[in-house]
Structure 1
Amino acid sequence: MNTISLAPMAVVLPFFGAALAFILIRHTSAQRIISVSILSLTLVLEVVLLFSVWETGAQAVNLGGWLPPVGITMVVDQFSALMLVISTAVSLAVLIYAAGQGMADGDEDGPISIFHPTYLILVAGVSNAFLAGDLFNLYVGFEILLTASYVLMTLGGTTPRIRAGVTYVVVSVVSSLLFLITIAMIYAATGTVNMADLAVKLGDLDSGTQLMLHLMLLVAFGIKAAVFPLSFWLPDSYPTAPAPVTAVFAGLLTKVGVYAMVRTETLLFPGDRINSLLMVVAGLTMVVGILGALAQTDIKRMLSFTLVSHIGYMVFGLAVGSVIGIGSAVFYVVHHITVQTSLFLVTGLIERRGGTANMDRLGGLAKLSPILAVLYFIPAINLGGIPPFSGFLGKLGLLEAGAELGTPLAYTLVGASVLTSLLTLLVMARVWNRAFWRTPEDAVHPDPILLATGTDGSSLRTSGDVTEKSTGKFSGRGAVDLLPRTMVYPTVGLVALGVALTVLAGPLFSLSDHAAQDLLDRTPYIEAVLGEGAGQ
C-alpha cells in the first residue's frame, strides 16, 4: 500500500478520537488516555508521511474515487508534511500539559470535560488545512479549527473570556466571510477551486481581476495570520484563555494563516507583483508588534505582542520571494511554533507558582524555582535570537535573503529585523529581571504567595481550608500543587524540542530549502495533482 494513501488519516484519527472522547465525557481519565494515544498515533503517521515525501516531493490523494479538479484532493509535500509533524508534536505536548494540570488539581470530574473532544477537533481542522488541495477544503479546515477554538477560548464562562471570545468570533467570521466570497469569485472566473488547476488557469485572467482576487485572499489570510494592521484582535483575545489553550492558539492558529499565505502566494500568484507591499506589511508587523510588547506588564499580553511581531519575519521571507527567503521563512515557522508555545506553557507555570502573570507583582522565582528559571531562560534567549539557537539561525537566513535582494526596501527591512530582534531580547530580559532576578520585596504589590517563603525555600499557599507547601506531595481537601511534575515534564519536552531544532538545523534547513524550491517551481505540486506534463 502506498504510504501517501494514509494521509487522510491525519484528519480522520483526531475526529475518531474526538468521538470517543465525547462518548466518555463523564470519564475524564479515559478521555485523557484516548486523546494522548490518538495524537501520538497521528504524530507517528505524520512522521512517516514526512519521510515519504522527503526525497520524492509532492504526492496527492484523491478522495472518493473522484479525479481532480472535480474531487477532493489532499496533497502532501515537504512543506505540508513538515507543518503536520511540528503542529501535532506541539499539540501533543500541550495536551499532556493540560491533562497534567487537571490531574494536579484533582478535577477528575471536570472542570469542563468537553475540552478533550474539542481539542482533537481543533487538531483535525489544522491538519485538514495543511493537506487541503483546493480552496474550499482549505476553508473547511479553517472553519473546523475556528469553531473548536471558539469553545476552547470561552472554557469556564468567565466574563473576560466571553468578552474576548466575542471579539475573536466577530473577527474570525469577517475573515471567513471574505475568504468564502473570494472563493465564489474565483470559481465564477475560472470554473474551479482546485489549487493545482487554478495555478494553470488564473494566468489566463486579465491582470486587474488577478490583482483583485489576489488582494482579497491576502486580506482574508492576513487577518487569520494577525499581520499589521489586521492584528488588533489578538493581544486582547489570547491572554484570557486557560494556559494550555493560549499556548496552542499562539503556536498554531496564526501559523495556519501564514501557511495559507505562503501556499497561495507561491502557487496561485507567482511573481513579485505585490512583494513591495508584503515587505512594508512585514516591517510594520515586526516593529509595531514589538513596541506593543515593550508597553506590557502582563507576561501573557507581552508574549501575545511578540507573537504578532515575529509573524513579520515569516512575511519578510515570503516577500523576498527567493529560495533562501522562503526556505528561511519555513524554518522560522517551525522554530516559532515550538518556542512561542514553550513560553506560553512556562508562563502558565509562572502564574501557578507565583500567583500572577503580572511582572510588577513577581520576584525571586529564580531562587524559589530554579527549574522554572531554566525553562523560561532557554526559549527566551532563543526567541531573542541569541547564537547559536534556532532563532538566530532563522533570522540570519532571512537577513541574508534581504541583503541578497539588495533593494532599498529590502535593506530597510533588514534593519527593522535587527531592531526587532534586539527589542525582543530587551522584552525577554525585562521579564527575567523582574520575575526571576529581583527579590519579592522589591516587587510592586507582591503576591502573598511569594512573600510567604519558608526557611527551606518553599512558599506557603492558602487554598480553602488548608495551607500547602509548594514542595513535596499534597493531600487534604483543597490541596493544590504549585509546580506539578505532570505539567513540568511536557514543558521540558517542548523546550528540549526547541533546542533540538538548533542541533538538527542542518537537515531542517536542507528540508526547508527543498520545500522552498518546490514551492517556487510549482511544477511538482501541479503534476502531483493533475498528472505529468500539466505543470508545463
Structure 2
Amino acid sequence: MVSTQLLLLSPLIAPLAAAAFAALGRRWNGVQRAVTFAALVVVIAAGVLLVVESLSSGVVSTVVGAKSSLTGIALTADPFGAALVAATGVLAAVVTATVVATGDDRSSFLQPLMLVLLGGACGSFLAGDLFNLFVFFEVVLIGSYVLLILLGGLPQLRAARVYVTVNLIGTMLLLTGIAGVFAATGTVNLARLAQQPVVESGAAPGAVLVVLAFTVKAGLLPFSGWLAVGYPVVQRTTMALFAGTLTTVGVAALYRVVLLAFDGSPVLRGGVLVVAVATLLLASVAAVAAHPHGRVLGLLIVTQVGFMAAGFGLGTAAAVTAGVFFVLQDVVIKAAAVLAYRPLGESAAPGGGARAVALTGFALLALSLVGVPPLAGFVGKALLVEAAFEAGSVVVVVAVLVASAATLAALLPLWWHVSGRGGGESGGGASSARLSACVTPAVAVAAAALVVGIAPGWLLAVAEGAAEVLVDPAVYARQVLGS
C-alpha cells in the first residue's frame, strides 16, 4: 500500500527529479526519453490513484516538513485537483510522444523544461495553502518562459516580453493578496480559511486581489493578450503544452481557492462570471476575423478559458459539475487539436491514407471544440447550458451558443486550409510515415474524445464527486483538518 505522503509527493518529485536527470543526460536522447516517459507514468498513475482515493475516502492530505499545517507544506488532493494531475500527465505524454516522433527534442533542454512545467502545474493542483500555490505558479512561469524563448528568434523575444510582464503583474497581485489574507486571518491554509467567512474576517480586500491574480494567470479578458501574442510564435509542441497547462492552472485555482477557501463568495464569483461571458463572446468573435491561423488557434484557446470559468461563475452544484467536466476533457483535446493542425498545414504534407487519418483526427478534435455531438466537448457544453437554465442565467446560455457558433466559423478556414493541401500521393512513403507518426498521438486523443462523448458516465462521476467537495467548504475543511 502506497503511503499518503508518497502518493501526494510523487506528481511533484517525479517530473522535477526527472528534469534534473534529463538535463544531465542531454547528450543522449535515448536517456532523456526514457527518463521523461518514466516520470510521466508516475504522474499519471499517482493522479489516477489519488482520484480513486479522494472519491472513496475523502480529500487526501498531508503536511511535509513539519507536523502542523501552520508551518509545513500542506498538500491536498480533492477529486478535482487529483483528476487534473492525471489529465495533465496524459497531456504531457501526448506532447512528448509527438516531440519524439517529430524530432523536436533535438533541442536538449526541451524535455527537461517540459518536465519542470509539469511539476509546477501538478504542484499548483495539489497545493493546500495559498503561499505554496504561489510558489508552484512561479515554477510554471519559469519553465514556460524559457520554453517560449527556446527558439531564440525576435518574435519569441517580443512575445516573452509581453508574457513575463503580464504574469509578473499577476504575481505581484497574488503576493499582495496573500499578504492581505494572512494579515486578516492569520493563515493561508485553504482548509483553515474555509472555516472563516471572508467578509467577517476582514480578508475581502486580499481575496479580491487573489482572484484578480488568478484571472490574469487564467488568461481571461482583459488579460488574455499574452496568450494571443505568445501562442502563434512558439513551436507547435510547446504551443500544445501551453494550451493545456498555462490557463488551466489559473482556472483550477479559481475553482479550488475561491469555492473552498473564500466560501464561494457570490461577489467574487459574479465578477468572474461577467469576465468569463465577455471572454466567450469577444475572443470567439475575434477568432473569426483573425489571421494568421496560429493566432486563430490562440484566440480559440482563450475562448475555451471562458467556457471553463463560466461553470465556476455560476457556482451551483450542477454548474460546477459542468465546469469540472469541461476542464478535464478540454485540457487534452485543445492541445491535441494544435498538434494535429500544424503538420497538416505544412505545404509539404503528403496525401494518401496517412493524411486521411490525420484529417479525420483533426476534424473530430475541432468538432469537439465546437461542441458537436457525440463528442466530449458537446457533453461539457450541454451540461453547462442545462446548469445555466436551472440557475436562470439566460445570458450565459446565449453566450455559450454564440461562442460555439463563432468557434465553428473560425475553424472552417483552418479546415479549408488543411484539407486543400497535399491531396496527391507525391509525398512518398517516408513523408506519409512521418505525418502518421506526428499525428498518431493527436488522433488517439480524438478517438478518446469520441468515446467519452458516447459514454461520459465515468468522467461525469468524477466531475460530480469533485463538485460535491467544491461547493461545500465545510466538508473539505473537516476532511483535511479532521474536525
Tell me the TM-score normalised to structure 1 length.
Answer: 0.85
1:303 maps onto 2:302 in alignment: no
- Which one-letter code corresponds to 2:147 in the other structure? L
Question: How far apart in 2 are the matches of 1:282 and 1:22?
Answer: 39
Contact 2:373-2:453 within 8 A present in 1 as well = no
Question: How far apart in 2 are the matches of 1:503 and 1:83?
Answer: 22
Report how far residue 111 of structure 1 moved.
3.8
Question: How far apart in 2 are the matches of 1:368 and 1:28?
Answer: 27
1:196 maps onto 2:153 in alignment: no
Contact 2:355-2:432 within 8 A present in 1 as well = no
- Which one-letter code corresponds to 1:395 in the other structure? K
Report how far residue 435 of structure 1 moved.
2.9
Contact 1:112-1:156 within 8 A present in 2 as well = no
1:245 maps onto 2:231 in alignment: no
Contact 1:3-1:52 within 8 A present in 2 as well = no
1:374 maps onto 2:360 in alignment: yes
- Which one-letter code corresponds to 2:452 in the other structure? L
- Which one-letter code corresponds to 2:358 in the other structure? L
Q: Runs in 1 of length 4+ with deviation above 6 angstroms? A: 364-368
- 5 Å-filtered alignment, 1:183-332, equals 183-203=178-198, 205=200, 209-270=202-263, 271-332=265-326
Contact 1:96-1:490 within 8 A present in 2 as well = yes
Report how far residue 202 of structure 1 moved.
4.6
Question: How far apart in 1 are the matches of 2:10 and 2:411?
Answer: 40
Partner of residue 386, structure 1: 372
Partner of residue 156, structure 1: 151
Contact 2:358-2:436 within 8 A present in 1 as well = no
Partner of residue 389, structure 2: 403
Question: How far apart in 2 are the matches of 1:31 and 1:275?
Answer: 43
1:27 maps onto 2:22 in alignment: no
Question: How far apart in 1 are the matches of 2:131 and 2:250?
Answer: 15
Question: How far apart in 1 are the matches of 2:415 and 2:261?
Answer: 44
1:182 maps onto 2:177 in alignment: yes
Q: Deviations over 1:347-383 (max 9, x none)?
A: 22224x4259xxxxxxx97999212211211011111
Matched residue SS, 1:273: helix
Partner of residue 438, structure 2: 487
Contact 2:193-2:262 within 8 A present in 1 as well = no
Question: How far apart in 2 are the matches of 1:152 and 1:486?
Answer: 23
Instruction: Identify if the C-alpha distance between structure 1 residues 482 and 219 changes in structure 2 by more than 3 Å, giving closer, same or farther.
Output: farther
Report how far residue 133 of structure 1 moved.
0.2
Question: How far apart in 2 are the matches of 1:220 and 1:85?
Answer: 25
Greater per-residue helix proportion: 2
Contact 2:361-2:447 within 8 A present in 1 as well = no
Question: How far apart in 1 are the matches of 2:22 and 2:417?
Answer: 42
Report how far residue 201 of structure 1 moved.
3.1
Contact 1:354-1:365 within 8 A present in 2 as well = no
Instruction: Identify if the C-alpha distance between structure 1 residues 118 and 261 changes in structure 2 by more than 3 Å, giving closer, same or farther.
Output: same
Question: How far apart in 1 are the matches of 2:338 and 2:382?
Answer: 25
Report how far residue 524 of structure 1 moved.
2.8
Instruction: Identify if the C-alpha distance between structure 1 residues 204 and 432 changes in structure 2 by more than 3 Å, giving closer, same or farther.
Output: closer
Larger Rg: 1
Matched residue SS, 1:61: strand
Partner of residue 471, structure 1: 428
Partner of residue 447, structure 2: 496
Contact 1:167-1:233 within 8 A present in 2 as well = yes
Report how far residue 482 of structure 1 moved.
8.1
Question: How far apart in 2 are the matches of 1:31 and 1:495?
Answer: 27
Contact 1:31-1:116 within 8 A present in 2 as well = yes
Question: How far apart in 2 are the matches of 1:125 and 1:520?
Answer: 26
Question: How far apart in 1 are the matches of 2:236 and 2:348?
Answer: 13
Question: How far apart in 2 are the matches of 1:423 and 1:20?
Answer: 45
Question: How far apart in 1 are the matches of 2:84 and 2:147?
Answer: 22
Further displaced range: 7-16 or 46-55: 46-55
Matched residue SS, 1:69: coil
The partner residue of 1:129 within 124, 127, 130 is 124
Partner of residue 515, structure 1: 466
Partner of residue 465, structure 1: none
Instruction: Identify if the C-alpha distance between structure 1 residues 77 and 276 changes in structure 2 by more than 3 Å, giving closer, same or farther.
Output: closer
| Amino-acid identity (%) | 30
Q: Deviations over 1:394-414 (max 9, x none)?
A: 1111111111111xxx11221
Question: How far apart in 2 are the matches of 1:516 and 1:290?
Answer: 27
Contact 1:175-1:221 within 8 A present in 2 as well = yes
Question: How far apart in 2 are the matches of 1:187 and 1:379?
Answer: 44
- Which one-letter code corresponds to 1:528 in the other structure? Q
Partner of residue 111, structure 2: 116
Question: How far apart in 2 are the matches of 1:184 and 1:274?
Answer: 18
Question: How far apart in 1 are the matches of 2:225 and 2:291?
Answer: 18
Question: How far apart in 1 are the matches of 2:192 and 2:181?
Answer: 12
Report how far residue 69 of structure 1 moved.
2.6
Matched residue SS, 2:68: coil
Instruction: Identify if the C-alpha distance between structure 1 residues 56 and 503 changes in structure 2 by more than 3 Å, giving closer, same or farther.
Output: farther
CA RMSD of superposed structures (Å) = 2.1
- 5 Å-filtered alignment, 1:72-87, equals 72-87=73-88
Partner of residue 458, structure 1: 425
Matched residue SS, 2:62: strand
Report how far residue 286 of structure 1 moved.
0.3
Instruction: Identify if the C-alpha distance between structure 1 residues 204 and 395 changes in structure 2 by more than 3 Å, giving closer, same or farther.
Output: closer
Report how far residue 276 of structure 1 moved.
3.2
Q: Deviations over 1:39-90 (max 9, x none)?
A: 1232122212222222222121111242223211110111111111101101
- Which one-letter code corresponds to 1:321 in the other structure? G
Matched residue SS, 2:152: coil
Matched residue SS, 1:73: strand
1:335 maps onto 2:292 in alignment: no
The partner residue of 2:338 within 344, 353, 359 is 344
Q: Deviations over 1:283-304 (max 9, x none)?
A: 1100100011101232221111
Q: Deviations over 1:322-355 (max 9, x none)?
A: 110000000000121121011110122224x425
Contact 2:375-2:451 within 8 A present in 1 as well = no
Partner of residue 531, structure 1: 482
Matched residue SS, 1:74: strand
Aligned length: 481
Question: How far apart in 2 are the matches of 1:177 and 1:355?
Answer: 46
Report how far residue 195 of structure 1 moved.
1.1
Contact 1:90-1:494 within 8 A present in 2 as well = no
- Which one-letter code corresponds to 1:96 in the other structure? A
Q: Deviations over 1:397-434 (max 9, x none)?
A: 1111111111xxx1122111111111112222232234
Give ranges in structure 2 of 5+ residues lacking alignment.
none
Report how far residue 33 of structure 1 moved.
1.6
